[in-house]
Structure 1
Amino acid sequence: MDKYSSYLYHAVYSVLRSAKDAEDVTQEALLKIYASLPQYQYQGLKTWMTRIAVNKAIDHKRAMERKREQLTADIEDMLPEDSTHTVEEEVLENQRRQQIKQYLDDIPANYREVVVAYYIEDKSYQEIAAEQGVTLKTVESKLYRAKQWIRKHWKEEEWR
């Protein structure tokens, strides 16, 4: 484990692109490798271990995609079915999207990145911290300050 865990972590990370998920899947892969040692045929240990780890990563990625698809389907099921969109409704929706984009552009850049990553891209604090190379506390502070800025500069009536 000591000799190959770092190597396997990097192989798993190359599939998942998430440090937290890569750590978890690497641990699962190491357990699977240990449990599968009696079946090992003494041909290319590193290749055999890598194949197990990468397969675990692919399985994890597929499971996450299925969960995401199921969540999206559940949300769509909760929305009222209105297949008769009028041109007026589409124009109003496009205007609303433009307004939201404009509001996001007004947020100071150092806050905008965190707000977009957290609320629009649905990333966790850990993912944002890793991507931006900052601490978790920094992400929390930026989100808190962004919320304060939004409360101060955006009027609630504009969102109704």
Structure 2
Amino acid sequence: MGKIDSEKKLIELMNQYKNLVFSVCLKMTGDYFAAEDITQETFISAYQHLDKFDGTAEKAWLCRIATNKCIDYMRAAERRAIATEEDEMPQEITQERDGPLQSFVNKDVLVKFRDDCNALPEPYREVAEDYFINELTAKEIAEKRGKPLKTVQTHIYRARDMLKKTMRKEDLLA
């Protein structure tokens, strides 16, 4: 294909499929601005490889290019990501962002959840408090209580199940 034919074909493809390619990119990345960039890269790549394209199934061809570009983008994002220590994460961001009403509701929910944990029969009460409120791992609870890890895991599972049932009943009554 000559340069003028390639440019004309690219313009046709862009006019016909730009929204489709953008929506594929947006769906895969979840980032509007990245989707815009990847959409451009898709059409640039298509232009560069028009001479190798047989002319059939343009839609599928462009969607495949877009999908591959999105996969490349996400892989590169994973490599750029830096693991953050739990200690370095800001703690009370939600309180500042959500305002005093949401902060009050969050505290009220936490108090209610703590009451629900305390209402559980033993040994689930202690395990639920340690796991859900004090945020200890099953291993830490097992060491603290001197119980086998599997037993603690079973208690956590059962406590979670009991809490779900309690909360569902309360939602139905409210």
TM superposition score normalised by structure 2: 0.43
Higher relative contact order (CA 8 A, sep 6+): 1
Flag the structure with larger Rg: 2
